[in-house]
Amino acid sequence: MLNKFKSPDLKRKTKSLLFGKGMKKGLLAKIAIYVILSVLGFIFLYPLFYMISTSFKNIEDLLDSTVIWIPNKLTLENYRTALMILDLPRSFSDLFKWNSLYKTIVVVGAPSIAATVSSALIGYGFARFRFRFKKVLLICVVISFIIPSQIILLPQFVWFNNPLNILGTIWTYILPAISGQGLNAAVFILIFYSFFSMIPKSLDESAYIDGANETQVFWHIGIKLSIQPIVIVFLFNIVWYWNDYYRASFFLSGSDWTTLPLQLSKFESLYTILANSQEVQMTNLYEPLILAGTILTVLPLLLLYFVFQRMFTESIDRTGITGE
């Protein structure tokens, strides 16, 4: 009986079950992979879990050290106050009015479209044409991504103020985007450059033989074969322009144009004014209220990701963009 358990077949099957072939399909390897993925997933999702959990807490739960994740009593009062201060119901209802709808589309959509078009044109030019100082200009594109954006904001501020006189208008976003200097434009130019470089030039030569010009080649070959990089560049532009705070505080502060992070920065001060008017002392105990307002501001982006999740992941996989 003991010899049966010590048989070579049993040992081989046990080893195959635990370790598999090449340490890839074994049970222990799968357990290790799932444990690592679970730990990494928790690390990335921990801030979101903390925000959601804390946003439902009241003052008693926040002061109770025994309450960590699940509040003793779920409360929506923080969200009601945040909605009142941010005035989101009126904002969403105003979307059906042409003026607010126009501003909402322009402040996010116009720079995103302009940046996508300019990045595609610049990347196509670098990939398909030979001209003097091409490598030098490519190095300049890379350097423009390495240099912190804060360094060029002050010269842009002076230039937009005088002689252009466009401060406080949406043109402070559209003009840099359409000239290839928008948010993280160097990354998008390199994405298009890499993608267009992989398209065989024999397709261009065939189109030229058929009588096509440069514009027709760019549209019928370059654009129609680059749907994936166009999607990823456009979606990431929407996300970055939606979340933009630093440039908005420079160029849009004090105007009718605004972004959600800029509105969120005013959230605490607005609540302070409301609390003082009601003779309520503001302390750090109102962290749940601040986090509730934060969740309300990032909710549109979360919905955008869930709707276009497959498009996001496929585009990132095919274009090779990482760490952004």
For residue 225, pLDDT over 60 is answered with yes
Cβ-Cβ contacts under 8 Å for 264 (sequence gap 6 or more): 293, 294, 297
Dihedral class, residue 319 (left if φ above 0, else alpha if ψ from -120 to 50, else beta):
alpha
User: Does the pTM exceed 0.85?
Assistant: no
Q: Tens digit of pLDDT for each residue in 27-81?
A: 677 787 888 888 888 888 888 888 888 888 777 777 777 777 778 777 777 777 6
Cα separation, 278 vs 275, in Å, equals 5
Tell me the C-alpha distance between 185 and 69, whole Å: 40
Per-residue pLDDT, 124: 93
**How does pLDDT run across 158-189, given as a tens digit for each residue?**
888 888 888 888 889 999 999 888 888 888 99
More reliable by pLDDT, 120 or 320: 120
Distance CA 240, CA 112 (A): 9
Looking at residue 322, what DSSP letter applies?
-
* Dist CA 148 CA 48 (whole Å): 28
Q: Domains in the chain, start-ordered, CATH in brackets?
A: 2-55 (no CATH), 88-265 (1.10.3720.10)
Q: Which residue has the higher pLDDT, 36 or 317?
A: 36
Alpha-helical segments (H) within the chain: 2-5, 8-19, 27-55, 59-63, 77-86, 88-94, 98-128, 134-146, 149-161, 171-178, 185-198, 201-209, 214-217, 227-243, 246-251, 260-265, 267-277, 287-307, 309-319
CB contact at 8 A, 259 and 170: no
Q: What percent of the chain has pLDDT over 90?
A: 8
What would the pLDDT profile of 100-135 be if each residue is shown by its tens digit? 446 667 788 889 999 999 999 999 999 998 888 898
Phi then psi dihedrals of residue 167, to 5 deg:
-60, 140
Give 57's contacts (C-beta < 8 A, 6+ positions apart).
67, 71, 75, 78, 288
The pLDDT value recorded for residue 100 is 46
pLDDT of residue 120: 93
